[in-house]
Amino acid sequence: MSAMVRPNWEHVVPDLAGKTVVVVGGSGGVGEGVVRSLLARGSTVIATGRDSERLAALEESVGEERLRIAVIDANASDLDARVESLANELGPFDGVVVAVASWGDQGRRPVLTLTDEEWRSLLEANLTSVFRLYRAFLPVTAESGTILQLNGMSADMPFPGAAGVALSAAATKSLTRTIAAEQDGRGPRFYQVILGVVRTKERQRAGIDDTRWLDGEEIGAHVAALVAGTSPLLATTVQYFTDKKAGPQPGPEAF
């Protein structure tokens, strides 16, 4: 059993024994903490990413037999086949967490200097990827299951030099809200969880850290509560987790 990080707002520890949760981007800065937290609360976890070496390093560092890894590229033509094959082996899934991000190779640039190809590539990586993941995973998620995206504050704020990432964040927030409304209480519940800055290992390795920032494990504790059905935010599609002490909060109803 992995060591458990317990945030002060977690009054009940969700019991995920017997549940299976996929963390798409589980090898990423945010995803890794979520993976560890879900494992600590008893879940079987499938961590996915594109890079098999990054996934193998995660598997070795976590060292838990309930962790499985799988290479899945949200933009590849074999996405549906890979998801179906994973579901045949380990599904249906109780939770699917989408925690993907891609900054592209163009660097920080004013938006109107992007080429058509750079623009297309940023939208493919950050918007189309989320659409394709939702479409592939919906049929293999339990009726009572949870599908959510971990998103950033750029969903609501300007982000000079990173418009492709920011406008995709705003669009995936919109996408998630529309799917949640289309589901209308039938089948898996869809959530959009907008996060503040996270203390990722990559940042820490670069000497950039702040104890007021969120830990990935705290985010995972909230994800666990949504999957287990113990979160007070079960009926709230758009949620904000930006303040470590306050914990996850409901977004405004409409704006």
Ligand X SMILES: NC(=O)c1ccc[n+]([C@@H]2O[C@H](COP(=O)([O-])OP(=O)(O)OC[C@H]3O[C@@H](n4cnc5c(N)ncnc54)[C@H](OP(=O)(O)O)[C@@H]3O)[C@@H](O)[C@H]2O)c1
Using rule CB under 6 A, residue 99 touches ligand X:
yes
| Burial of residue 34, with CB atoms counted within 10 A of its CB: 0-12 exposed, 13-18 middle, 19 or more buried | buried
Using rule CB under 6 A, residue 121 touches ligand X:
no
Using rule CB under 6 A, residue 146 touches ligand X:
no
Question: Positive or negative, the Cα torsion across 79, 84, 85, 89?
Answer: positive
Using rule CB under 6 A, residue 248 touches ligand X:
no
Minimum CB distance to ligand X, residue 50 (Å): 4
Using rule CB under 6 A, residue 13 touches ligand X:
no
How many residues are listed for the chain in this entry? 255
Of 1-9, 10-18, 23-31, 109-117, the segment contacting ligand X by CB under 6 A is 23-31
- Closest C-alpha to 176, from 135, 221, 120: 135
User: How far apart are the C-alpha atoms of 18 and 41, rounded to whole Å?
Assistant: 11
Contacts of ligand X in 203-242 (CB under 6 A): none
Which amino acid type is present at position 18?
G
Of 5-13, 62-70, 194-202, 222-230, the segment contacting ligand X by CB under 6 A is 194-202
Neighbour-count burial for 57-94, b at 16+ CB within 10 Å, e otherwise: ebbeebeeebbbbbebebeeeebeebbeebbeeebebb
Using rule CB under 6 A, residue 176 touches ligand X:
no
Using rule CB under 6 A, residue 30 touches ligand X:
yes
Q: How many residues bind ligand X (CB under 6 A)?
A: 28
Minimum CB distance to ligand X, residue 169 (Å): 6
From candidates 20, 44, 129, 239, binder to ligand X by CB under 6 A: 129
Using rule CB under 6 A, residue 168 touches ligand X:
no
Using rule CB under 6 A, residue 50 touches ligand X:
yes
Q: Which residues bind ligand X (CB under 6 A)?
A: 24-25, 27-31, 49-51, 54, 72-75, 99-102, 125, 129, 150-152, 195, 197-198, 200
